[in-house]
Structure 1
Amino acid sequence: MLTTNPFDDDKLREECGVFGVWGADSASALVALGLHALQHRGQEAAGITSFDGHQFHSHRAMGHVAGNFDRDDIIRRLAGRAGIGHVRYSTTGETAIRNVQPLFADLSSGGFAIAHNGNLSNAMKLRRELNRRGSIFQSTSDTETIIHLVATSTYRTLLDRFIDALKQVEGAYSLVCLTSEGMLACRDPLGIRPLVMGRLGDAYIFASETVALDVVGATYIRSVEPGELIIVSDRGIRSHRPFGDVRPRPCIFEHVYFSRPDSIVDGASVYSVRKQIGAELARENPVQADYVVPVPDSGVPAAIGYAQESGIPFELGIIRSHYVGRTFIQPSDQVRHLGVKLKHNANSALIQGKSIVLIDDSIVRGTTSLKIVQMLREAGAREVHMRIASPPTRHSCFYGVDTPERAKLLAAQMNVAQMNDYIKADSLAFISIEGLYRAVGEESREETQPQYCDACFTGAYPTRLTDHEEAEPADQLAMLQERYA
Structure 2
Amino acid sequence: MGGLVGVVAFDELWSVSKFVYYGLLASHNRGDNYVVVLSNGRSLKSVGGDITHLLLNKDSLNLLEGYVGVGGVYSQGDRYEGKYTYLSDNGYELSLLVDGYVDCSVLDIGRKIVKLVNLGYKLVEAFVEVIKGVRGVYSLLLITNKSEVITYRSVPGLTPLHLGGYGFDLTLIATESVPINILGGELRSAVSPGKYVYLSPDLVTVGEVPTDGVVNHAICAFEYIYMARHDSILDGIDVYSIRKSLGEELGRRFKYDVDVVVGVPETAIPYALGFAKVLGRDLEYGFITTGVKVRTAIKGDPLERLIGVQLKLNPVKYVFSGRRVAIVDDSLVRGLTVKSIIQILRNKFGVKEVHVVIGSPKLINNCPYGKEIPPKDELLAANLSDELAVKYVEADSITWLSVDEVSKVFSNYGMNLCTGCFLGGCLVRGGCS
Fold shared per TM-score above 0.5: yes
2:159 alignment partner, SS class? coil
Letter in 2 for 1:23: A
Q: Match for residue 259 of structure 2?
A: 290
1:342-396: per-residue Cα shift (whole Å, max 9, x none)?
4422222222121111101111112222212222222111111111011000011
8 Å Cα contact 1:293-1:357 kept in structure 2: yes
Q: How far apart in 2 are the matches of 1:444 and 1:207?
A: 23
Once the two structures are TM-superposed, the CA of residue 464 in structure 1 deviates from its matched residue by 6.5
The residue that corresponds to 2:335 in the other structure is 366
**Shift in Å, 1:160:** 2.3
Equivalent position of 1:209 in the other structure: 176
Q: What's the CA shift for 1:20?
A: 0.6
Which segments of 5 or more consecutive residues in structure 2 lack a partner in the other structure?
A: 297-301
Aligned to 1:223: 190
In the other structure, the counterpart of 1:130 is none
User: Is residue 66 of structure 1 aligned with residue 62 of structure 2?
Assistant: no
Structure 1 unaligned residues grouped into runs of 5+: 1-14, 124-141, 328-332, 446-450, 468-485
Q: How does 1:230-379 map to 2 (within 5 A)?
A: 230-243=197-210, 246-322=215-291, 340-378=309-347, 379=349
**Among 69, 77, 82, the residue aligned to 2:63:** 77
Counterpart residue type for residue 41 of structure 1: R
Q: Secondary structure at the match of 1:418?
A: helix
On the 8 A contact 1:348/1:380 being kept in 2, the answer is no
**CA displacement, residues 188-222 of structure 1 (integer Å, 9 cap, x when unaligned):** 10111111000012211101111101111011001
Percent of aligned pairs with the same amino acid: 29
Deviation at 1:287, TM superposition (A): 2.4
CA deviation after TM superposition for structure 1 residue 465, in Å = 6.1
Conservation of the 8 A alpha-carbon contact between 2:309 and 2:337: no
SS at match of 1:19: strand
Q: Which of residues 97, 112, 115 in structure 2 aligns to 1:115?
A: 97
Does residue 46 (structure 1) correspond to residue 12 (structure 2)? The answer is no
Aligned to 2:139: 174
1:88 alignment counterpart: 74
Instruction: Name the aligned partner's letter for residue 99 of structure 2.
Output: N
Stretch of structure 1 that moved more, 339-348 or 281-290? 339-348
Q: 1:217 to 1:65 in 2, by over 3 A?
A: farther
Structure number with greater CO (CA < 8 Å, separation at least 6) is: 1
Q: Structure 1 pair 285/465, CA: closer, same or farther in 2 (3 Å)?
A: same
| Structure 1 residue 398 displacement after superposition | 4.2
Residues 408-447 of structure 1: pairs in structure 2 closer than 5 A: 408-442=378-412
CA contact (8 A) 1:394 1:456 kept: yes
Q: Secondary structure at the match of 2:198?
A: strand
Classify 1:466/1:100 alpha carbon distance in 2 versus 1 (closer, same or farther; 3 Å).
Answer: closer
CA RMSD of aligned residues (A): 2.8
* Structure 2 letter corresponding to 1:177: L
Could you tell me whether the CA contact under 8 Å between 2:2 and 2:100 is conserved in 1? yes
Moved over 4 A (4+): 152-155, 323-327, 333-340, 463-467
Say which of 165, 168, 190 aligns to 2:156: 190
Matched with 2:88 is 106
Q: Aligned in 2, Cα 1:273/1:326: closer, same or farther, shift over 3 Å?
A: closer
Which residue identity does 1:114 align to in structure 2? L
Task: Determine the C-alpha separation between the residues in 2 that align with 1:90 and 1:144.
Answer: 20
Residues 253 and 108 of structure 1, relative CA distance in 2, 3 Å threshold: farther
Using structure 1 for the length normalisation, give the TM-score: 0.79
**Is the Cα contact below 8 Å between 1:384 and 1:427 reproduced in 2?**
yes
- Spell out, residue by residue over 1:405-444, the C-alpha distance to the aligned partner (whole angstroms, 9 max, x if none): 2112111112323211221211111111122123334489
Q: CA deviation at 1:275?
A: 0.6
Alpha-carbon distance between aligned partners in 2 of 1:172 and 1:373, rounded to the nearest angstrom: 37
The two structures have a TM-score, normalised by structure 2, of 0.88
1:36 aligns with 2:25: yes
Which amino acid in structure 2 is aligned with residue 113 of structure 1? S
SS of the aligned residue for 2:220 comes to coil
Is the Cα contact below 8 Å between 2:410 and 2:417 reproduced in 1?
Answer: no
| Partner AA of 1:176 in structure 2 | L
Is the CA contact (8 Å cut-off) linking 1:392 and 1:457 kept in structure 2? Answer: yes
Name the structure 1 match of 2:299. Answer: none
